[in-house]
Chains A and B, each alone.
Chain A
């Protein structure tokens, strides 16, 4: 049987209570477990506690079992603060040994140096062991110490591509044989691999250059 209002006259106070709850609806909806309550502070033992009372205390509250202060160590000095750009620094260090005068860097920095080697040029690379490689520059990858260029040529009717690192200590010299005849609008000339745009062999251009160079140098090597 449902309780009638006449039976419970104090029920009219209920509405008053509800309005008070609406003021803090958030708190009212919280679970008990999530309600924040401060951790109880540790109450220190009275200063002048007679020693005979100590035995009555639980062992965890005995003065010798009091929590020891945790030792806090200062963090080690931050490596990041000491060196903001470690990779840049390593690159610089390596460039110092591999390219002290910065000539190689300038020779291939086609973004900044207008006289540098550019894609489309024909160049001749001579290695330390003496054998040269000639080819059209298809691309120059500017990657700091890993900067490299891609050469393409045709030797004995077989296409050969060689990617050489600019700061490779095995590279003795890099010579520009011929500049690109037309203005090249692209940075990567991979279209030259297609049959239609293939430059084919550049050996005759290079041979003419070598002959000319020898004539200028006077006799050349025999």
Chain B
């Protein structure tokens, strides 16, 4: 249930760590896994902690930037076709550009499998684990 003002963790290496949802796209309801949202970067990841090569990547987004993102984990339980219900411990997203390609090049953290059905297989392949 991602809606206006929801704070999400950003799990890619684009440089953002906490983002705030400002709009849910193509939907009149709260966003869930695989939905595209508009976010404002609230907190940047601490630069320099990931090495000198990462600092260049970390400057991809700044605090206050407005970006598109794809929700990859939600706290709200999600029922699949076979009756299985999945619930994650937090809300998380991945920043994407207008064309739908992820801004970061790496992701750390589990993502939901619903991304496959919604044509986000590029994000799915970047993720280390999916459930």
Residues of A within 8 A of B (CB): 133, 146, 148, 154-165, 168-170
Contacts and interface: CB of A to CB of B under 8 A. Distances in A.
Contacts of B90: 158-159
A161 B108 contact: no
Given A156-B129, A158-B90, A168 B83 contact: yes
Given A155-B129, A160-B131, 12 more contacts: A156-B128, A158-B73, A158-B90, A160-B86, A160-B88, A160-B89, A161-B88, A162-B85, A164-B83, A165-B84, A168-B82, A169-B82
A170 B84 CA distance: 10
A161 B86 contact: yes
Interface residues of B, number: 18
Q: Main secondary structure on chain B at its contact with chain A?
A: loop
20 contacts: A146-B83, A156-B129, A157-B109, A158-B89, A159-B88, A160-B87, A160-B89, A160-B131, A161-B87, A161-B88, A162-B131, A163-B84, A163-B85, A163-B86, A164-B83, A165-B83, A168-B83, A168-B84, A170-B82, A170-B84
A165 B82 contact: yes
Given A155-B129, A155-B131, A160 B110 contact: yes
Contacts of B131: 133, 155, 160, 162
Contacts of B89: 154, 158-160
Interface string B114-131: 000000000000001101
Interface in B88-123: 88-90, 92, 108-110
Contacts of B87: 160-162
Nearest to A164: B84
A64 to B, nearest CB: 68
A108 to B, nearest CB: 15
Nearest to A128: B82
Given A133-B131, A162-B131, A156 B86 contact: no
**Minimum-distance CB pairs A-B, first 5:** A159-B89, A163-B85, A165-B83, A161-B87, A155-B110
